[in-house]
Chain A
Amino acid sequence: MEQNLIDLSRAQFALTAMFHWLFVPLTLGLGLIVAIMETLYVKGKGEKWKTTTRFWMKIFGINFAVGVASGIILEFEFGTNWAKYSWFVGDIFGVPLAIEGIVAFFMEATFIAVMFFGWDKVSKRFHLAATWLTLLGATLSAVWILVANAWMQNPVGIGEFNVDLVRTELSSFWAVISPLAIVKFLHTVISSWMLAAAVVIGIASFYLLKGREKTFALDSIRVAVKVGIAGVIAAIITGDMSGNLVAKTQPMKLAAMESLYDGHNNAGLVALAVLNPDKKFDDGKDPFLFNVSFPNMLSFLATRNSNGFVPGINDVLKGGYIGPDGAQTISVNEKIALGKDASLALKEYKNAATEDEKTKARNAFRKNEKYFGYSFFKSAEETIPPVGLVFYAFRIMVALGFLFLILFITVEYFLHKKRFEKARLLQKICLLSIPFAYIASQAGWIVAEVGRQPWAIQDILPVKAAVTNIGATSVILTFCFFLVLFSVLLVAEVNIIRKAIRTGPEENPQNTNQ
């Protein structure tokens, strides 16, 4: 398989996914904040909450459209750029996507029309219900897409490999909704609340800095900061749970997140470090030029025991340690050899002339079928993800998460003391923090997706065996096209939001067709 094509297909999907993820977390988080604000309005807390709701709903709407547009591109790309993936795991992977469409998208699409255009057409309570149902639809959509993604990280619920069709098949629907899927959903959605809170607090701070819309700004911050604090705390808890599950299901990813080459007991969690750029996995050099660690914390995160053994990259490659299932692990080279045996047995099965030959070949395949995905590798080294990117992305995500917690608590404290209105430095920090919320959110996905490389489906299908066999030129053209399209859309989106903010919440919404 042409490496150029693999990298281009990867780049196109990454571009689309990262662009899409600029809009989704704000939709999920702002949807909650808007629903709370409208609830306050309907509960009789004052007409001002209607104005506040409508302003943030306008921002929600501008953001929502591009999220919808980029979402459809991702779904199509599973087929256009990852056709072998679509066949190999389509029997399982397609299910959550279809359920997402049937259960979630229609709820979102139907009620969002009421949310935007129904103010004068339906009762207050019906409108409020529509707002909450739009949020529910968006969140359900996230449930199913994150179930699908969690399955790529931890493929479960698979029956016997179908040797006639050469594909994996579903054996348990409920198994697919695994603990990892649940934690991934919670972590992703809840961290989106943090992002939305940062955006709302940042924009509201802009008004305070300008001396405008003070009541609106302070009301908005009061709601958003509570959502933000709850979001960050819950994201930290679910992040810890997620790390523990990653240790069990994707030890190579955890090792990359920590740049841990040689595993040991009492492993520390790296707090701050500079990686050694010359480090190779088997050269025995120190992976860090400088590092500060929290003692024993990685062991505790991975095993819930501060003395526990955490395997490093070399341990995963060489095997020989006791895995979370209590069995001794084997080396990646052995897995590659067994995978090639499985592949040859499958080929023999397909070429078998008699039933006896078929049975023999099938049995030979069954012995090693779980290593079939490894047959596509030539060396164990290929199974190491890009350590530097994963390592730094993880630190950025975690550090920003904690910084946002400190920021939100500080904002809440100043609000409580009725000093926020005059705290111009804090307001400036809030405004400038907006892009960092997006960086944290994107970094999280880099850890999840780059950390899984080179696998499309962990231990089952590598990216290089999943890609569509089309000319690289076609992918270059569509990549360039998407790059231009996304850039234009992003500039337009940011400019529209900028204008909407400048106009402020007092504008007659009829003028903007809302």
Chain B
Amino acid sequence: MEYSFLQHYWWFLLSLLGGILVFLLFVQGGQSLIYSLGKEESDFAQLINSLKRKWELTFTLLVTFGASFFASFPLFYTISFGGAYWVWMAILFCFVLQAVSYEFISRRGNILGNGVYKAFLYLNGVLGPILLGTAVSTLFFGAHFSYSPEGMTNMDNPVFSVWEGAFFGLEAVWNTPFNVILGIAIFFLARTLGALYFINNINDESIRIRARRQVAINAVLFLLPFLTYLIYVLFFHPVWRFENGELNQDAAIYLDNIISNPWTLVILLSGLVCVLHGIYVGARRSNLNGIWTAGIGVILTVTSLLFIAGVDGTVYYRSLSSPDLSLTIFNSSSSRFTLTAMSIVSLFIPAVLAYIWYVWRKMDVK
């Protein structure tokens, strides 16, 4: 297989994993709603037990997304994880709290008390999507870094990459307002999906009524920052692309990418329609399946947006201090052999999705 095809294939797979991850953030969204939807102890128990059966999927996907990024585009992993130290540590902290809270919350002798674990879940529900959204936005807006493979020949002090932000990644918050805007958009999207999930999964009319109200409120709060971000990024944000070794800047590069890959336009528009439809049916009294329509919509939308951000030599992680060192899928990927080996392994993904789907249905049927 052509090296370029493999690089695009893995960029697509990562975009897809990213899309599924954003969908599965309904768990975090649900956690951030426990105090809004739960009025009595029995409500809390229902809400937490409902999420308790799904949180591992989000967690596992986050791990797999990280590992796949590491294996397919190790230069990004090296620079971003090694540089934006505090951002990744904060994300880590959030998710560690989540993992233990679900198991410990209902156990006697859990030392900290159920209320603290409930608060941990809430904290993960709020900070998790905001931090992940802010981190993902740096793919579009870049960071201050440089790297030099020849730095490894410095025998006394080998240096490969240098992160020039004094706050080791936290500067993403104030470098541009758009990073946080995407974080906020993802947060409200997660809450919208969380409310839709509860409507589908919890057979309790009072919770459903409260959840439907939350769908409407959070959908509006999601759409405002998201559309602001989307319009700015697609139409006004100068995008970088290497062409014949030269770095070009043009606000229309993402649109060019969409035009040259028309299927991305189809899935982007289908995704947006599905999201809006899911929100609409979720907010209505009779329909329980908004989570599925909106969920599929989220996967399609995010996959297409992430894919066009890296296709055909488009810079997917810009270096604000050394633009020529910006990352593309061509200069940051693993070797052809590694991508080929991993592509064979990726053939298992449909089987994995199939048994997840089968088990999910089986567990939710009764």
Contact = CB atoms under 8 A, between A and B. Distances in A.
A177 B304 CA distance: 36
Interface stretch (B145-153, B173-181, B224-232): B145-153
Given A101-B63, A170-B338, A90 B112 contact: no
B143 to A, nearest CB: 14
B162 interface: yes
B1 interface: no
B60 to A, nearest CB: 4
Interface string B18-61: 00000000000000000000000000000001001110110110
B68 interface: yes
B256 interface: no
A62 B111 CA distance: 14
B79 interface: yes
Interface string A79-90: 110011011101
A70 B95 CA distance: 10
A98 B345 contact: yes
A496 B81 contact: no
Given A102-B352, A485-B96, A492-B111, A61 B103 contact: yes
Interface in B75-102: 75, 77-83, 85-86, 88-89, 92-93, 95-96, 99-100, 102
Contacts of B242: none
Contacts of A79: 66, 70, 77-78, 80-82, 88
Interface string B155-170: 1111111110000100
Nearest to B62: A72
Interface stretch (A43-51, A158-166, A183-191, A443-451): A158-166
Interface stretch (B210-218, B262-270, B356-364): B356-364
Contact of B56 (A80, A102, A112): A112
A491 B112 CA distance: 10
B150 A113 contact: no
Given A75-B66, A102-B346, A513-B106, A110 B57 contact: yes
B352 A106 contact: yes
B63 A75 contact: yes
B158 A80 contact: no
Given A79-B80, A90-B78, A496 B109 contact: yes
B345 A117 contact: no
B338 A91 contact: yes
Contact of B82 (A1, A113, A468, A485): A468
A346 B154 CA distance: 10
Contacts of A101: 60, 63-64, 67-68
Interface residues of A, number: 91
Nearest to A376: B155
B251 interface: no
Contacts of A103: 345, 348, 352
B153 A489 contact: no
A162 B108 contact: no
Which secondary structure characterizes the binding site on chain B?
Answer: helix
Contacts of B163: 470
A86 B335 contact: no
A353 to B, nearest CB: 15
B71 interface: yes
Contacts of B75: 87
B81 A105 contact: no
Contacts of A493: 104
A468 B57 CA distance: 30
B15 to A, nearest CB: 16
A373 to B, nearest CB: 11
Contact of A488 (B64, B111, B352): B111
B110 interface: yes
Interface in B295-335: 334-335
B85 A106 contact: no
B238 interface: no
Contact of B85 (A100, A117, A171, A470): A470
Contact of B356 (A1, A91, A98, A110): A110
Given A98-B70, A496-B109, A114 B363 contact: yes
A316 B68 CA distance: 38
Given A86-B70, A169-B338, A492 B150 contact: no
A504 interface: no
Interface in A465-514: 465, 468-470, 474, 478, 481, 485, 488-489, 491-493, 495-496, 498-500, 503, 512-513
A84 B78 contact: yes
A75 B349 CA distance: 21
Contact of B72 (A98, A105, A130): A98
B113 to A, nearest CB: 10
Interface string A94-126: 110111111101111111111001101110001
A433 interface: no
Interface of A: 1, 61-62, 64-66, 68-73, 75-76, 78-80, 83-84, 86-88, 90-92, 94-95, 97-103, 105-114, 117-118, 120-122, 126, 130, 159, 162, 164-167, 169-171, 173, 340, 343-344, 346-347, 350-351, 375-376, 465, 468-470, 474, 478, 481, 485, 488-489, 491-493, 495-496, 498-500, 503, 512-513
19 contacts: A79-B88, A84-B82, A84-B152, A86-B78, A87-B161, A88-B160, A90-B74, A98-B67, A102-B348, A106-B64, A108-B60, A164-B149, A173-B341, A344-B153, A469-B162, A470-B83, A485-B96, A492-B110, A492-B112
Interface of B: 49, 52-54, 56-57, 59-60, 62-64, 66-68, 70-72, 74-75, 77-83, 85-86, 88-89, 92-93, 95-96, 99-100, 102-104, 106-112, 149-150, 152-153, 155-163, 168, 334-335, 337-338, 341-342, 345-346, 348-349, 352, 355-356, 359, 362-363, 365-366
The 10 closest A-B pairs by CB, nearest first: A79-B81, A83-B82, A90-B74, A94-B71, A101-B64, A65-B103, A499-B109, A69-B99, A166-B149, A98-B71
